Amino acid sequence: MDVGFIGVGGIAGNYLNSLERIADVRVSAVCDIDATRAGSVAERFGSRTYDDHHAMFEAERLDALFIAVPPFAHTDQEILAAKRGIPMFIAKPVAMDLDTVNAALAAIREHEVMTGVGYMWRHSDLTDKARELLGERAIGMAIGSVHVNTPGTAWWRVLGQSGGQIVEQSTHIYDLARSFCGEAAQAHGWGGAALNPRIDFEDVTTVNIRFEGGAVGAMTSTSNVRTGKYSLELIGNDFHLTLNYGANRMAGHVGEETVEYEAAESGYYIQVERFIRAVREGDASLNRSDYADAARSLALTLAANETLRTGQVVDVPKIA
């Protein structure tokens, strides 16, 4: 299988390490505006290099494509891949505005192209185990926490390039809350700024969510601490589970049963392995997040951003 990459920075390294473990995958082509980065991947995998994805699409015949550019850099990559019928695995968030996403989604649907999105914790053992333990029980409340340090990448610290912490980072936990509680209808929150001089957006946020099915959510985020906490608590009638994704552990109780669980698989490798298998076998269900689903997580996080600025309850935009 001939695989291409657009963007070979931090997270692409993780995807490349995973691909290296899978038989019969060639990283044939890499595109990055940073020639040094593209060159070092080419040296490792024997790939052809490009500094413009248009040239890569013209020259290559790819069986699958990984897109791992920063949120602001998504332009027409997904549309061009869709037109060529190339299945795509895309790092989250899939973009940082809904116009870009809706245009890409239309092309993906028109050309019936398979997509996977890098919400790796959808594939974690913690997620599977929580679903198994909860069965048909209704979730009443989800409490999400993303309490982490400021990432080193320069673009991350600029609202106009990353979308801010909720869109870029807390999206993992907002996405998991959606996957457990169903679609989000409304968001209302508050943000505080200027504690952290290295970023130009709110560095402490608290957002409440009303889910269509009746559950409520409370999400707090900061990129101002060293705690490294990424967690989701799920609460309902006589159960309370804390899924600590940062530590790969889950604890709590479901009825009389005390839960203490450690995950063997964080989701990073298996998301890539499943995407490749999905392409080979034509089984899209192996991808636990696809482009349309990821677009809904973006819509929720953009609504969260909007309420921080307006103080108003915001309806989450619908993605058809």
Ligand X SMILES: NC(=O)c1ccc[n+]([C@@H]2O[C@H](COP(=O)([O-])OP(=O)(O)OC[C@H]3O[C@@H](n4cnc5c(N)ncnc54)[C@H](O)[C@@H]3O)[C@@H](O)[C@H]2O)c1
Give the footprint of ligand X on residues 261-320 (CB under 6 A). Answer: none
Minimum separation from the CB atom of position 93 to ligand X (A): 6
Give the footprint of ligand X on residues 147-166 (CB under 6 A). Answer: 153
List Cβ neighbours of 215 (8 Å cut-off, separation of 6 or more).
138, 139, 140, 141, 142, 181, 182
Q: Do 205 and 308 meet the contact criterion of CB atoms below 8 Å apart?
A: yes
Which residue's entry shows tokens 């993605």? 319
Count of residues of this chain found to bind ligand X when the rule CB under 6 A is applied: 25
Q: State yes or no: residue 144 binds ligand X (CB under 6 A).
A: no
**Count of CB atoms within 10 A of residue 228's CB?**
11
Residue 9 or 246: the one with the smaller Cβ distance to ligand X is 9
Minimum separation from the CB atom of position 18 to ligand X (A): 12
3-state secondary structure of 1: coil
Q: State yes or no: residue 6 binds ligand X (CB under 6 A).
A: yes
Q: State yes or no: residue 122 binds ligand X (CB under 6 A).
A: no
Strand 239-244 versus strand 249-254 pairing type: antiparallel
Rounded to 5 degrees, φ, ψ at 228 are: 70, 35
**What is the tally of helices (H) and strands (E) in the chain?**
11, 15
Q: State yes or no: residue 37 binds ligand X (CB under 6 A).
A: yes
Minimum separation from the CB atom of position 213 to ligand X (A): 27
Choose, by CB under 6 A, the member of 15, 19, 32, 286 that binds ligand X. 32
Residue 139 or 298: the one with the smaller Cβ distance to ligand X is 298
Residue 91 or 254: the one with the smaller Cβ distance to ligand X is 91
Residue 93 or 189: the one with the smaller Cβ distance to ligand X is 93
Residue 168 or 203: the one with the smaller Cβ distance to ligand X is 168
Which of 110, 105, 113, 31 shows the shortest CA–CA distance to 73? 31
List Cβ neighbours of 288 (8 Å cut-off, separation of 6 or more).
119, 122, 123, 179, 271, 274
Binding mask 167-186 for ligand X (x = CB under 6 A): -x------------------
Stretch that binds ligand X, among 2-10, 41-49, 248-256, 281-289 (CB under 6 A): 2-10
Q: Do 50 and 31 meet the contact criterion of CB atoms below 8 Å apart?
A: yes
Buried b (16+ CB within 10 A) or exposed e, 243-272: bbbbebebebebeeeebebebebbbbbbbb
Q: State yes or no: residue 34 binds ligand X (CB under 6 A).
A: yes
Q: State yes or no: residue 142 binds ligand X (CB under 6 A).
A: no
Q: State yes or no: residue 98 binds ligand X (CB under 6 A).
A: no
Q: Footprint of ligand X on this chain (CB under 6 A)? A: 6-12, 31-34, 37, 53, 68-71, 73, 91-93, 118, 120, 153, 168
